[in-house]
Amino acid sequence: MVKIEDLTDRSLRDCSVAKIISIDTLEHIEDYTKALSELFRVLAEDGQAIFHVPCYYFEKPRSEPIQHGVDPWGHLGYFSGKELISNLAKVGFIILRVKLQFDYGSLVCLVQKKCLYRWSDWSMNIGK
């Protein structure tokens, strides 16, 4: 069954989704940080998510808003990589990997909900 819902207000239960793939979605949402919080809420405790967004700035502290009607794809802003990564962490995601695609102007970020391994788990197995 396919449901169409507001990404900032999902009807899914807490921790009910194992994996999330969000491709070119967040730039169309006015309050994308609320959407991130909602995605964090529904992601399973050991879940992972991939976020892909257009990103033309990495070092700027804030994303750039776009005037309505200027962007042909309906984007509300161009992401700052720094801002997105910061907001993912503020929501509670653990950042596993970030990749910038300079030829396309995008950012791909792999995150998970909680740390699955402790350093002691790794250090006890070194040399075995």
CATH number of residue 55's parent domain:
3.40.50.150
DSSP string, 35-78: HHHHHHHHEEEEEEEEEEEEEEESSSSSPEE--TTTSTT--SEE
Is residue 4 in a domain? no
Residue 80: alpha-carbon gap to chain centroid: 13
Is residue 85 in a domain? yes
Structural domain count, the chain: 1
Is residue 10 in a domain? no
Cα gap 36→90, rounded to integer Å: 10
Of 111, 105, 70, 64, the C-alpha closest to 87 is 111
Express as a percent the part of the chain with pLDDT over 90.
Answer: 48
Instruction: pLDDT band for 111, please (50, 70, 90 cuts).
Output: very high
What is the CB neighbour count within 10 angstroms for residue 123?
9
Choose between 66 and 126: higher pLDDT. 66
Choose between 40 and 115: higher pLDDT. 40
Is residue 127 in a domain? no
> Over the chain, what is the mean pLDDT?
84
Q: Is the pLDDT reported for residue 65 higher than 80?
A: no
Is residue 6 in a domain? no
Q: Is the pLDDT reported for residue 102 higher than 70?
A: yes
Is residue 123 in a domain? no
